[in-house]
Amino acid sequence: MTLPAGAREVTRVGGGNINEAFSVTLDGARAFVKTRAEAAPGEYAAEATGLQWLAEPGVLRTPRVLELDEHYLALEWIPGGSLDDAGAEELGRGLAATHAAYEELAPLADGWRERVELYQLLPLLVHALLFGGSYAGAAERAARRYA
């Protein structure tokens, strides 16, 4: 485990399934740090780039990258909480605007809507195998469309 050199008040927190996650104090402010010994070269840099891209439209609060290293990524701490109806609506509008910005940057190929069920078929089959229930019917309906 590697943490930023100036990290103080280090507390392990939940988050993710492959990294160790910590709340730390960096330069007097609370921060979230993710780290793990076997992180692939460039992994945290790619995540930092993705977070910066998500923040570009300015419509969703996205954690600011505070510090980046091959062995960790330190982000602005965003306190947990819950959304009221207005917050849920704001989040929905922000997600829609983010998707619209992505669609403008990298438009999907013609006919993509007709292929959605095809792309969903494998996860539906896995869920049907693992959980049964309504997943089996959904998988069958999707498969019939392409049979």
Backbone angles phi, psi at 61, to 5 degrees: -70, 120
Distance (Å, whole) CA 123 – CA 135: 9
pLDDT of residue 16: 67
9-32 confidence digits (pLDDT tens): 999 998 767 899 999 999 999 999
Would the pTM of this model clear 0.75, i.e. be above it?
no
Side chain identity at residue 104, one-letter code: E
Residue with tokens 């999707």: 142
Domain boundaries, the chain: 8-76, 112-146
**CATH of range 8-76; options 3.40.50.261, 3.30.200.20, 3.40.50.2020, 3.40.1390.30:** 3.30.200.20
3-state secondary structure of 75: strand
